[in-house]
Structure 1
Amino acid sequence: MELADRAVGFLLSFISTSIFTYYTFWVIILPFVDSDHFIHKYFLPQEYAILIPVFAGVTLLCFLSVFIGLVMLKSKKKKA
């Protein structure tokens, strides 16, 4: 079990680091690269640099709100 936990932890760390590196390069470095450079074909348009995190944040807040609401309803039913 410990090996599986390590593998999952390593995978999550690798994915997080990859996403952070990609997003950082996309938002901070790419605007200073010429628009006709070949590297631009590997990145979405700049508008998505704001839309994707906002959408992810709103989705996360919705799931957290539903989860907290369900936990509150369950705890209310146990008291009654």
Structure 2
Amino acid sequence: MELGDKAAGCLLLLFSTTLFAYYTFWVIITPFVDSDHFVHSYFPAREYAIIIPGIALVALVSFVLVFVGFVMVRSSQAKAKSKPKTN
């Protein structure tokens, strides 16, 4: 199983490094390249450089909040079941 974890880690590292390099090139380098250059055909409009990470951030925060809420509800249900009932 350890080899599978290493492979997954290497793939995640490769993916995140590639994504970081692509985004960095898109945001920092392409504004200095002529607008009719072929490089611009590989990138979306620059407005999306703010919109896409913003949507991803909202989705991530929403997921974390829903997860924390779910854990809190499950925890309170487990505590309620374990308490002895008094008459």
TM value normalised by structure 1: 0.98
**Greater relative contact order: 1 or 2 (C-alpha under 8 angstroms, separation 6 or more)?**
1
Shift of 1:2: 1.3
Percent of aligned positions with the same letter in both sequences?
60
Structure 2: gaps spanning 5 or more residues: 81-87
Per-residue CA shift, 1:8-43, capped at 9, x if unaligned? Answer: 010000000000000000001110000000000000
Q: Distance in 2 between matches of 1:36 and 1:25?
A: 17
* Structure index of larger Rg: 2
Letter aligned with residue 60 of structure 1: L
Q: 3-state DSSP class of the match of 1:46?
A: coil
Deviation above 3 Å: which 4+ runs of structure 1?
Answer: none
Q: Distance in 2 between matches of 1:28 and 1:74?
A: 45
Q: Distance in 2 between matches of 1:19 and 1:64?
A: 22
CA root-mean-square deviation: 0.5
TM value normalised by structure 2: 0.90
Q: Distance in 2 between matches of 1:15 and 1:78?
A: 39
